Structure 1
Amino acid sequence: MEISARNSLQTTVKQVVAGSVNTEVTLELAPGVEIVAIITKSSADKLGLVEGKQAYAVIKASDVIVAVD
C-alpha cells in the first residue's frame, strides 16, 4: 500500500458497530490506546472489518485537532 498521507498507524480492529448507513470502528494501537472512526457501512463491508483484523488508521494532517489545558 502506498499513500500520500504521512500519518499511517497500524492497528487492530477492536470493535465494529454497524448502523443502517454508517459504521463506528474502534481501532486499537496498543492496550488502552484507541482511535474511533465513523465510516460508511458500505466501506466497512468492502474492507471486511471484523474484530481482530489488522487495519491502518490513516490520518490526514489537516483534519487533526490538537488541544491542551
Structure 2
Amino acid sequence: MKLSARNQLRGRIVEIEKGATTSHVRIEIAGGQVVTASITNRAVAELGLAVGQEAYAVVKASDVMVGVD
C-alpha cells in the first residue's frame, strides 16, 4: 500500500460497530491508544474488515486544531 498521507498508524481492529449506513471501526495502535474511523458499511464489506485483523488508520487533514483548558 502506497499513500501520500504521512500519518499512517498501524494497529489491530478491536471493534466494528455497524449502524444503518455507517460503521465505526476502532483500531488499537501502539501504546494502547484507540483510533476510531467512521466509514460506510459498504467499505467495511469491500475491505473485508474483521475484529482482530491488522489494519492502518490513515489520517489526512487540512487543518489541525489546538485546545487548552
Q: TM-score normalised by the shorter chain: which range applies?
A: 0.7 to 0.9
* Greater mean deviation of Cα atoms: 44-53 or 57-66: 57-66
Name the counterpart of 1:7.
Answer: 7
Q: Report % sequence identity.
A: 43
CA RMSD of aligned residues (A): 1.6
- TM-score, scaled to structure 2: 0.86
Where does structure 2 lack aligned partners over 5 or more consecutive residues? Answer: none
Question: Deviation above 3 Å: which 4+ runs of structure 1?
Answer: 63-66
Where does structure 1 lack aligned partners over 5 or more consecutive residues? Answer: none
- The separation in 1 between residues aligned to 2:55 and 2:68, in whole angstroms, is 29
- TM-score, scaled to structure 1: 0.86
* Greater mean deviation of Cα atoms: 38-47 or 28-37: 28-37
Q: How many residues end up aligned between the 2 structures?
A: 69
